[in-house]
Structure 1
């Protein structure tokens, strides 16, 4: 039996996150972090006591104008997700920032991350009226190459900004996608 096509959708309200989806988000975040993913928790291993409050905070902040969750589903299961946010301060309200870009580890290499990134570009431009997107990525794990293939440009680095362990300092890579 063939797999269903990848489903992409956005969530703009806390009321639209079911308990089942919340649990899938928590499970995904734990899986990605514990596999060494740079998705917001620097010191694995983590468990639900760490991930669940972070998911709850993210979900509570969802609002159409300022914060949206973009999810990818495959065969009815969460395959990956990210969060796009805009600041309300007028000086920077024309751009958004991506957070927590992640895909289930067993599904990597199937284009899910790229599909999420293309879809969020449309959402940011057409749904949120944004003109550019920004993100910060952990250096040393190939993320610059992944994002670069999708049109993102590196605009700066903070050398050694991230200390994962003694002697394991990584650059924080600043990237931008403009125009949308």
Structure 2
């Protein structure tokens, strides 16, 4: 993938996901997971037999009020993506959680993840009417530093909550972005 302008867009309905985008999401998820990324599958390597059902479930759940997909592309090729989901219950509908923040491994360090995070912040505030965003990050891989540079604050840890291999426990770091 060559350089070019970064295109950021959101997808809010299952019918808006083309077969090409679906395949690109599956491919990115496999790539990121197999490179050791904290993207939802604990035991790499994975292949399409694991990633495709997860992508399909995420796509099926898209809805403007509760679940949106943020996509970053360069020259029409997927560069990264994330999912933002909120619970419609009135008690917690003022915040949402980010899931599966991913950037193609060959494009890391080019600001794509930061651009996605800033884009979702604007969408969450301006279109979804949210006041807070939450996320859980895997400890020990520098994610808290990345998110911290973008204004996120650590609000708690679950020590050893994630078992990635025998003897490979990691903390789960709870983070918040507020106000948006």
The 5 Å alignment of 1:133-144 reads 133-144=133-144
1:84 is aligned to 84
Q: SS of the residue aligned with 2:64?
A: coil
Q: Matched residues in 1 for 2:21 and 2:80: separation?
A: 11
The 5 Å alignment of 1:150-161 reads 150-161=150-161
In the TM superposition, residue 90 of structure 1 has moved relative to its aligned partner by: 1.0
1:59 is aligned to 59
Q: Matched residues in 2 for 1:163 and 1:64: separation?
A: 34
Q: Matched residues in 2 for 1:4 and 1:103: separation?
A: 16
1:176 is aligned to 176
In the TM superposition, residue 51 of structure 1 has moved relative to its aligned partner by: 0.2
1:15 is aligned to 15
Q: Matched residues in 2 for 1:90 and 1:77: separation?
A: 38
Aligned residues: 179
Q: SS of the residue aligned with 1:93?
A: coil
Q: Matched residues in 2 for 1:62 and 1:148: separation?
A: 28
Q: Matched residues in 1 for 2:3 and 2:24: separation?
A: 19
1:33 is aligned to 33
Which stretches in structure 2 are left out of the alignment for 5+ residues?
none
> Where does structure 1 differ by over 4 angstroms across 4 or more consecutive aligned residues?
none
RMSD: 0.7
Query: Is 1:125 aligned with 2:125?
Result: yes
Please give the TM-score of this superposition, normalised by the length of structure 1.
0.98
Please give the TM-score of this superposition, normalised by the length of structure 2.
0.98
1:107 is aligned to 107
In the TM superposition, residue 3 of structure 1 has moved relative to its aligned partner by: 3.0
Q: SS of the residue aligned with 1:165?
A: coil
